[in-house]
Amino acid sequence: MKIVDLSKTIAYNKQDPWFMRIKIRHKPHRKSKGLIRFFIGLPAKLFPRGFEGWADDKILGMGVHAATHIDAPWHYSPTVDGKPAKTIDEIPLEWCYGDGVVINMTHKADFEEITLADIQADIARTGVEIKPGTIVLIHTGRDQYIGTKDYPMRGTGMSAEATHWLIDQGVKVMGIDQWGFDLPLKYMAENAKKLGKNDYFWQAHLVGQQKEYCHMEQLVNLGALPPSGFKVSVFPLKIKGASAAPARVVAIFE
């Protein structure tokens, strides 16, 4: 068995936007000695030989969308087709494991959306099969900007039409290796104002108002995968009522 990690390392990066910076406080082994002696009540003379105490760590101020994560339908809208949207702890686990396919969109320029024709052309080129339960990974190559100020500002993005079509094939989970699933946020806002369109901003996300699906953001290493022939595991943390959760996303080759 071979496993390819498709997840970012959770770490502090000062280049991240302020709203997605992750702070981690590491506590070395020696810091726990006082806890063991005075709170648990074990005298130091009874510490096992060679025991240095235990290490511990705390993640501070980490948003559920800050690292590699999967968005729940609740993130996009409180309802899907008039029914209550699922939060991350309500997502069926069956959605989170299945055959994977990679759609290569590395040729798409920054700020150029991914169309249905783009998706179908790559499927015709590779011959991959998309069936109910397939997990679709959109390879843009923008994970190369992780750790830089450019990361949230650059990228292509899924169109509403392409997202609708994948869901109509039975896809419940899809994902992308850039900061967001849509075009970059600031670009979308500026272009919506320029075009005077009220159906432009967050168009792929808002497909979730009509059709139930989840997508992953901030994947990595999609370039290491073939178009098909592997499984994807994307089990999220079970956070009560949350709009998303970090996940250790991996591709598994039997």
Instruction: Indicate whether 2 belongs to any domain.
Output: no
Average pLDDT, integer, range 147-174: 97
Q: Are 28 and 54 in the same domain? A: yes
Q: Are 46 and 94 in the same domain? A: no
Binning pLDDT at 50, 70 and 90, where does residue 127 land?
very high
- pLDDT one-digit tens code per residue, 31-51: 999 899 999 999 999 999 999
Q: Are 51 and 162 in the same domain? A: no
- pLDDT one-digit tens code per residue, 171-216: 999 999 999 999 999 999 999 999 999 999 999 999 999 999 999 9
Q: Are 52 and 153 in the same domain? A: no
Q: Are 209 and 101 in the same domain? A: yes
Q: Are 189 and 221 in the same domain? A: yes
Average pLDDT, integer, range 156-183: 98
Average pLDDT, integer, range 133-153: 97
Instruction: Indicate whether 1 belongs to any domain.
Output: no
Binning pLDDT at 50, 70 and 90, where does residue 6 land?
very high
| Confidence (pLDDT) at 179 | 97
Instruction: Indicate whether 195 belongs to any domain.
Output: yes
pTM: 0.95
- The number of domains in the chain is 2
Instruction: Indicate whether 169 belongs to any domain.
Output: yes
Last residue of a domain, one of 37, 60, 83: 60
Q: Are 44 and 142 in the same domain? A: no
Instruction: Indicate whether 8 belongs to any domain.
Output: no
Q: Report the CATH number at residue 176.
A: 3.50.30.50
Average pLDDT, integer, range 84-93: 98
Q: Is the pLDDT at 155 greater than 90, yes or no?
A: yes
Q: Are 33 and 80 in the same domain? A: no
Instruction: Indicate whether 12 belongs to any domain.
Output: no
Q: Are 35 and 159 in the same domain? A: no
| Confidence (pLDDT) at 20 | 87
Q: Are 55 and 124 in the same domain? A: no
Q: Are 197 and 221 in the same domain? A: yes
Q: Are 86 and 201 in the same domain? A: yes
| Confidence (pLDDT) at 134 | 98
| Confidence (pLDDT) at 149 | 93
Instruction: Indicate whether 7 belongs to any domain.
Output: no
Task: State which residues form the domain around 122.
Answer: 69-253
Q: Is the pLDDT at 17 greater than 90, yes or no?
A: no
Binning pLDDT at 50, 70 and 90, where does residue 18 land?
confident
Q: Is the pLDDT at 19 greater than 90, yes or no?
A: no
- pLDDT one-digit tens code per residue, 224-254: 999 999 999 999 999 999 999 999 999 999 9
Instruction: Indicate whether 157 belongs to any domain.
Output: yes
The 3-class SS string of the chain reads: CEEEECECCCCCCCCCCHHHCCEEEEECHHHHHHHHHHHHCCCHHHCCCCCCCCCEEEEECCCCCCCCEEECHHHHCCEECCEECCCHHHCCHHHHEEEEEEEECCCCCCCCEECHHHHHHHHHHHCCCCCCCCEEEEECCHHHHCCCCCHHHCCCEECHHHHHHHHHCCCCEEEECCCCCCCCHHHHHHHHHHHCCCCCCCCCHHHHHCCCCEEEECECCHHHCCCCCEEEECCECCCCCCCEEEECCEEEEC
